[in-house]
């Protein structure tokens, strides 16, 4: 049976179509979810896409965190539902307290858009099990508020528990502490990543096919998950 992966659309979402296409290329059925509806339509996993939800008013992700769909996603994620937050989706996950820390204004105060090398550090998550530890991938990054920050105790805990999923290599595009590009929760089912794997799934439009592994990982995880 084909896995069904929900892709949420908020007002101001930019990359929901790209995320849905990546899900389809990976071999799953994309299911479009609307921010104002709490029903997840029986999906097996969820992607929170990049963009500028609710115009980034107050703080990036601060309003989206209270959308009806997020109330259901938060409960489902705590129950084990795989959730991937990309860029703005990462910001929403932090605002919803599914992930620690926050994403703040880039240290250099400029929007950064470039192809970025990442090193995959954690391969035990629902979204990275298709990679090898230490594998380097090339994925676009595009953000103005992508600087990951947390207090020292939280950063040390993420390191100690192996929850830093990916780090920037060859230059930090936004000033994120400890070069952190992606993190996960303790259970490994929720991952937030600032770069955009959905933009690296096709040779025609991406700098590589490296982003596809995030989506095929979810399918692999679902196949191995208990019924």
Catalogue the active-site residues.
Answer: 87, 196, 198
Asked if 50 contacts 145 with a C-beta cutoff of 8 angstroms, the reply is no
Report yes or no: 118 and 166 within 8 Å, Cβ to Cβ: yes
Cβ(88)–Cβ(100) below 8 Å: no
Tokens read off for 135: 């594998």
Burial category of 196 from C-beta neighbours within 10 Å (exposed 0-12, middle 13-18, buried 19 and up): buried
Sequence-ordered list of residues with C-beta below 8 angstroms from that of 3, at least 6 positions apart, any chain = 27, 28, 29, 44, 45, 218, 219, 222
Tokens of 126: 């629902």
Q: What are phi and psi of 10, to 5 degrees?
A: -105, 160
CA dihedral 102, 217, 111, 162 (to 10 degrees): 40
């Amino acid at each position: 049976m084909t896995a069904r992966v929900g892709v949420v659309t908020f007002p101001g979402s930019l990359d929901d179509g790209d995320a849905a296409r990546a899900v389809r290329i990976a071999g799953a059925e994309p299911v479009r979810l609307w921010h104002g509806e709490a029903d997840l339509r029986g999906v097996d996993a969820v992607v929170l896409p990049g963009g500028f939800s609710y115009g980034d008013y107050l703080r990036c992700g601060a309003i989206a965190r209270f959308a009806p769909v997020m109330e259901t996603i938060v409960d489902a994620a705590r129950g084990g539902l795989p959730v991937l937050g990309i860029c703005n989706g990462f910001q929403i996950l932090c605002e919803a307290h599914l992930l620690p820390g926050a994403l703040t204004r880039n240290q250099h105060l400029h929007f950064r858009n470039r192809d970025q090398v990442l090193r995959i550090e954690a391969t035990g998550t629902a979204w990275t099990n298709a990679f090898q530890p230490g594998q380097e991938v090339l994925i676009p990054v595009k953000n103005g508020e992508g600087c990951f920050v947390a207090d020292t105790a939280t950063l040390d805990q993420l390191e100690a528990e192996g929850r830093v999923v990916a780090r920037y290599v060859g230059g930090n595009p936004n000033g994120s502490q400890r070069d952190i590009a992606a993190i996960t929760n303790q259970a490994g089912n929720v991952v937030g990543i600032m770069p955009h794997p959905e933009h690296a799934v096709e040779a025609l439009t991406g700098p590589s096919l490296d982003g596809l592994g995030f989506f095929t990982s979810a399918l692999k995880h679902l196949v191995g998950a208990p019924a």
